[in-house]
Amino acid sequence: MENKEIAKILSEISVYLEMEGEMFKPRVYEKAALAIELLDKPLKDIYKTQGLKGIENIEGVGLSIAEKIEELLKTGELKYYKQLKKKYPIDLENLLRIEGLGPKLIKKLYEKLKIKNIADLEKAAQEGKIRKIEGFGEKTEQNILKSIEFLKQSGNRFILGFVWPEIENIISQLSHLKEVKKIIAAGSIRRMKETIGDLDILIISNNPMPVMDYFVSMPNVFQIIAHGETKSAIRLKNGLDVDLRVVAEESFGAALNYFTGSKNHGIHLREIAMKKNYKLNEYGLFKIKNNKEIKIAGKTEKEIYQALGLDYIEPEMREDWGEIELAQNHQLPKLIGYNDLKGDLQIQTNWSDGSNSIEEYIDAALKNNLEYIAITDHTKSLAMTGGCDEKKLLKQIKEIDKINQKLEKEKINFKVLKSAEVNILKDGSLDIDKKVLAQLDFVAAAVHSHFNMTRKEMTERICKAIRNPLVDIIFHPTGRLILKRPPYDLDVDKIINEAKNNNTCLEIDAFPDRLDLKDEHIKKAIEKGVKLSIDSDSHSINHLNYLKFGIAQARRGWVTKNDIINTKPWPEMLKQLKVNQRKK
């Protein structure tokens, strides 16, 4: 059993215990689940080499939970968990996705109305039964219906960054087979979309059957949907559908282009082909002469674009947003590269709700080829994160100064910048004193409360922060959580204009369920000349890996290296911010 599955079970136990009215146990299980999720070694390896003691040594795991993990590793099951599930036979995972529903209310709904899943919930809400339960009311009932509607719209999709390790794992396993000559993931993954519906893998192979056999028998396969010589399809345990197709070497480019999409991009390409009296399909580009098809391209994508009179278009741009016209006129932007970031400007450490120390981040950032990071712990009005007040922030400033001195002394070319993720309060003001903010290298601000303001109020609230001479960057400007929460009601065009007029930078938050700003807003922002940053929003050192999803998001917004402030070394990066003008 893998760490992820074990973490999920512990986390569910925590919810059950909360339903039971336990005071402290839930937090303990949740903490253990988190620790296991962040573990970089498989539990089964730890157990093999160090036994029960090894598991107990994990921070947050004691004897009782260690024994439960042992049972899971040995038998694949856990009696304690099974009993809880039997007591509450409900679809916890999905019910918890409803905003405003937590363990206590879910329990009440089950006991009073026998609600076990979203379908039951929707029916009861529509029939007006929920408002009659004590503790619920009309408004709650309406909110439940709204939330169900939002979930339905987001459909059965997966957040790219969260399924990425699994995708990489599959590709890596297959690529090691000797029968696989070439392998690539096409579809929305290649275009690096925020969410994906399924996974399309293309391979070149002279002997595909062993590959197919291997593919359908991988350990994380839940169901085999098809198992043939040229195409197989499976559903993974996590619900993701994966297709594997064998493609001929001479038409690999055409197939790759066809299966990468987007649909609209492909349609537009085929129209261009038609006008030239060509035909484009997944087997190649053909010239039509005397009713005969003569293949003129297909082995690579590049030769297909070239034969159509186009420059090569990066997959992230293939949405038919005007990229084809630019390619015809040789005016495509040179997109920011996946190795172009020199720093990360949003890091939460264990000074607030992050799980690693500043020093641990430095090590991790160096391994990720970064030259600097900014420490941006939450501030005081986010109490639950242990947010910094003025005193704590001043203490952290001193600490970072010391760390930088040490780095300098040891001749390590790395800089830690002093910052904070300051809360934008309801009225647009900040929750930290000016004098303290002035001591930071730069100031970032973000909304973390009062999400339900009107469009006008929310827009003005954020614009006020943008105008604040102390604010250099606005973090995750629209506040959305992909598949979970829509953005605040906001006039983004106005935000972009205000940012431009005040030389305030906007962020592309790279955390996989944020990716905020989103591609179309990014495109608008750089057209206006607004400067952007790409930051991981790390809450643990592993999250530095998420930077690539922020870069992908930027590429989908047609961003060049120059548009992003943290592609520059830190002194030049700071020069582009308002803080520089303040100091003059």
Partner DNA sequence: GCCGTTTTCGGCCCGACTGTTTTCAGTCG
Contact with DNA (CB under 7 A): which of 20, 37, 99, 460?
99
Rule CB under 7 A: say whether 501 interacts with DNA: no
Other Cβ atoms within 10 Å of 168 Cβ, number: 11
The rounded Cα 33 to chain-centroid distance in angstroms is 20
Question: Is 217 or 454 the residue whose CB approaches DNA more closely?
Answer: 454
**How near is the Cβ of 188 to DNA at its closest, in Å?**
26
Q: Does 139 bind DNA (CB under 7 A)?
A: yes
Please tell me whether residue 383 binds DNA under the rule CB under 7 A: yes
Those residues whose C-beta lies under 8 Å from the C-beta of residue 204, and which sit 6 or more positions away, are 180, 181, 182, 183, 246, 247, 248, 249, 252
Tell me if 454 contacts DNA by CB under 7 A.
no
Q: Does 386 bind DNA (CB under 7 A)?
A: yes
Retrieve residue 341's tokens. 């970031």
Q: Which of 153, 452, 583, 584 binds DNA (CB under 7 A)?
A: 452
| Residue number with CB closer to DNA (19 or 573) | 19
Residue 137 engages DNA in binding (rule: CB under 7 A): yes
Amino acid of residue 522: I
Specify the residue, 81 or 283, whose C-beta has the smaller distance to DNA: 81
Nearest CA-CA partner of 183 in 266, 254, 261, 245: 245
Q: Give SS3 for 287.
A: strand
Tokens representing 246 are 């064998």
DSSP element (H, E) containing 339: none
Q: Judge whether 558 and 524 are in contact, CB under 8 Å.
A: no
- Scanning 157-165, 220-228, 309-317, 443-451 for contacts with DNA by CB under 7 A, the matching segment is 443-451
The verdict on 469 binding DNA (CB under 7 A) reads no
Which is it for the CA torsion 158, 159, 165, 170, positive or negative? Answer: positive
Helix (H, G, I), strand (E, B) or coil at 563: helix
Q: Compute the least distance from the CB of residue 152 to DNA, in Å.
A: 17
d(CA 328, CA 331): 8
Please count the residues of this chain forming the interface with DNA, following the rule CB under 7 A. 48
- Is the dihedral angle over the CA atoms 539, 545, 549, 552 positive or is it negative? positive
Interface residue with DNA among 193, 342, 415, 448 (CB under 7 A) is 448
Least distance to DNA, CB of residue 383, Å: 3
User: Would you say the C-alpha torsion 27, 32, 33, 39 has a positive or negative sign?
Assistant: positive
Among 38, 65, 199, 492, binds DNA (CB under 7 A): 65
Distance (Å, whole) CA 373 – CA 535: 9
CB-CB neighbours of 123 under 10 Å: 12
Residue (68 or 556) nearer to DNA, CB: 68
Asked if 106 touches DNA (CB under 7 A), the answer is yes
Residue closer to DNA by CB (options 52, 407) is 52
Rounded to the nearest whole angstrom, what is the least distance from the CB of residue 92 to DNA in the complex?
12
On whether the CB atoms of residues 455 and 489 are closer than 8 A, the answer is yes
Q: Can you tell me the distance from the alpha carbon of 117 to that of 91, in angstroms, rounded to the nearest whole number?
A: 5
Residues 141-160 that bind DNA (CB under 7 A): 141, 143
Q: Does 277 bind DNA (CB under 7 A)?
A: no
* Residue closer to DNA, measured from CB, 380 or 531: 380
**Applying CB under 7 A, does 228 fall inside the site for DNA?**
no
Round to the nearest angstrom and report the end-to-end CA distance of the chain.
59
Q: According to CB under 7 A, which one of 45, 50, 93, 102 is a site residue for DNA?
A: 102
Q: How far is the CB of 543 from DNA (least distance, A)?
A: 16
CB 387 within 8 A of CB 377: yes
Spatial distance between the Cα atoms of 189 and 160, rounded to a whole number of angstroms: 7
Shortest distance in whole angstroms from residue 153 CB to DNA = 18
Interaction between residue 584 and DNA (CB under 7 A):
no
Q: How far, in Å, CA of 565 to CA of 514, rounded?
A: 20
| 540 and 355 Cβ atoms separated by less than 8 Å | yes
**Distance of closest approach, residue 208 Cβ to DNA, in angstroms:** 46
Q: If binding is defined by CB under 7 A, does position 131 make contact with DNA?
A: yes
Contact map string, positions 25 to 64, toward DNA, x by CB under 7 A? x-xxx--x--------------------------xxxxxx
Q: Does 91 bind DNA (CB under 7 A)?
A: no
82 touching DNA, by CB under 7 A: no
Task: Select from 40, 384, 411, 583 the one that contacts DNA (CB under 7 A).
Answer: 384
Tokens 């949740």 -> residue: 30
- The reply to whether 489 sits near DNA by the rule CB under 7 A is no
CB of 106 to DNA, least distance (A): 6
Binding site for DNA (CB under 7 A): 18, 23-25, 27-29, 32, 59-66, 99-106, 131, 134-141, 143, 353, 381-386, 426, 448-450, 452, 481, 485
